Chains A and B, each alone.
Chain A
Amino acid sequence: AQSVAQPEDQVNVAEGNPLTVKCTYSVSGNPYLFWYVQYPNRGLQFLLKYITGDNLVKGSYGFEAEFNKSQTSFHLKKPSALVSDSALYFCAVRDVRYGGATNKLIFGTGTLLAVQP
């Protein structure tokens, strides 16, 4: 079965410092990977996706993610954190059933990013 793991419940970083939010995946076949952000009392907002091509994917709000097939990872990164980046971040993988990709996304447990001023 497809799954993603976010090993850190919370990541703390000082404003202006680089940030990394970790995600590892387990899939059969080629992975379709996604990052979402959730602000308080809001729905999940799409940040970026990896389907194929360049291992470094750029997304919204200055975020990027690096796909690493050998380490089965898809870590979210930003060169310089802002206080306004503080939120809950979810990694997700597209589910595969009966050898074919579905439109269903399987989400990780989420990582709370706290950026201190």
Chain B
Amino acid sequence: DAGVIQSPRHEVTEMGQEVTLRCKPISGHDYLFWYRQTMMRGLELLIYFNNNVPIDDSGMPEDRFSAKMPNASFSTLKIQPSEPRDSAVYFCASSKDSPPLHFGNGTRLTVT
């Protein structure tokens, strides 16, 4: 089992650019979560999916953020346009029909 796979591991971009983060959940997991980690705000849930359908996106900061899950093995989190305050580590996690969640190693995003 390869675990949750996220790419890229690091992303550095300039303000105003579009950023796309990618996630491959563990095979057979029905739930997929996107979390953001910062020193100031800790771990925040942005959005989660069940069977590829978004269930709760109340944590998405604003319209600049969007997430999709076109199939059971792939999800993207897009930020357009990016801003310096979006700099954080973004984690993807997946689970079966109940916790625990299994996390990827994250994407460290730096927006300059």
Contact = CB atoms under 8 A, between A and B. Distances in A.
Interface of A: 32, 34, 36, 41-46, 49, 90, 94, 102-110
A104 B48 contact: yes
Contact of B50 (A36, A103, A105): A103
Contacts of A46: 100-102
B62 interface: no
For this complex, into which size category does the number of interface residues on chain B fall?
A: 20 to 34
B103 A104 contact: no
B11 to A, nearest CB: 14
B99 interface: yes
Given A43-B91, A109-B42, A103 B99 contact: yes
A106 to B, nearest CB: 8
What's the dominant secondary structure at chain B's contact region? strand
A41 B43 CA distance: 15
Nearest to A107: B43
What's the dominant secondary structure at chain A's contact region? strand
B26 to A, nearest CB: 12
B84 to A, nearest CB: 21
In order of increasing CB-CB distance, the 5 nearest A-B pairs are A43-B103, A46-B100, A107-B43, A44-B103, A43-B105
A105 B56 CA distance: 12
B32 to A, nearest CB: 10
A30 to B, nearest CB: 14
B42 A103 contact: no
Given A44-B103, A103-B99, A107-B43, 6 more contacts: A42-B105, A43-B104, A102-B55, A103-B31, A103-B98, A105-B99
